[in-house]
Amino acid sequence: MTETSAPRLLGPAEVRALAARLDLRPTKQRGQNFVIDPNTVRRIVRESGVVAGESVLEVGPGLGSLTLALLETGADVTAIEVDPLLAAELPQTIATFAPGHVDRFRVVLADALAVTEVPGPPPRALVANLPYNVSVPVLLHLMALLPSLEHGLVMVQAEVADRLAAPPGSKTYGVPSAKAAWFADVRRAGAIGRNVFWPAPNVDSGLVAWTHHAPPTDRVTREQVFAVIDAAFAQRRKALRGALRELAGGAEAASAALATAGIEPLTRGEALGIDEFIAIAVALAEQAAAR
């Protein structure tokens, strides 16, 4: 292999050999299911739209399957890994399987939910196989933390993928869908079977693609809008007049804010899009300012 050759991707034999050398026992606690199919990681990268020279953030690189496919595009990759064993091994894996691409890769030992900055050039794309148990909090945290992100694609549990991409009024629409809509246009980008992982998870996976847009308002903060969303879905079957009572400071105040926003008080949160949640937040802020 020459230094200018393309990376070699990890297949089942390579993944199991790496795991055996590290005496690695994947844990459910950290959602460790490693992709063993090169065609799958190439598909993820293709769907992500990552191009040569782009700065990419990856979360949970594990043994490096997706990392190598990202480097294959010519992208610059920063990977955040919470497992010290995996984070320490990853540079050696890149040096072995992609020796001509080492200078375009860095790994950060950190919890993605707790990071406050990311070293290197500001990332334009987020591409990740996210641990199922923290996928939504990680995605929303990084969208909020990194305004440089323009687009991305994440692999998550199929049910979570449905929720993230759900439109208002659908059965799967909820807090993840509404909050993600603040940051981006979100869409389902395909399904992933269980047999491309080791160990195989007991659920199917889905791909979620998103394209960043500017904050939809500057009249209220994101936190104010998210407080309305959280209250609206805290008791999903409850009408907004009751669901917003505590946040508004009483049922009358909640009804008045909904009237100002042009929303029927018996409407449920699942029927509202991000613009309606913003209208309620604005009305509540105006009420508070008038007191």
- Judge whether 63 and 86 are in contact, CB under 8 Å: yes
The tokens for 146 are: 């990194």
Query: Annotation-wise, does 35 bind a ligand?
Result: yes
Placement of tokens 């323009």 in the chain? 150
Query: Annotation-wise, does 111 bind a ligand?
Result: yes
Select from 223, 222, 213, 261 the least CA-distant residue to 241: 261
Provide Rg for the chain, Cα atoms.
21
Sheet with strand 125-129: strands edge to edge: 105-109, 76-81, 55-59, 125-129, 151-157, 205-212, 184-192
Residue type, 100: G
Select from 63, 113, 110, 119 the least CA-distant residue to 84: 110
Q: Which residues contact residue 274 at a Cβ distance below 8 angstroms, ignoring those fewer than 6 apart? A: 178, 181, 182, 216, 225
Query: Annotation-wise, does 56 bind a ligand?
Result: no
Query: Annotation-wise, does 129 bind a ligand?
Result: yes
- Judge whether 197 and 35 are in contact, CB under 8 Å: yes
DSSP string, 121-171: SPPSEEEEE--GGGHHHHHHHHHHH-TT--EEEEEEEHHHHHHHHPPTTST
Query: Annotation-wise, does 37 bind a ligand?
Result: no
Q: Give the DSSP letter of residue 52.
A: T
Binding residues are 33, 35, 60, 81, 111, 129
Output the known binding site for S-adenosyl-L-methionine: 33, 35, 60, 81, 111, 129
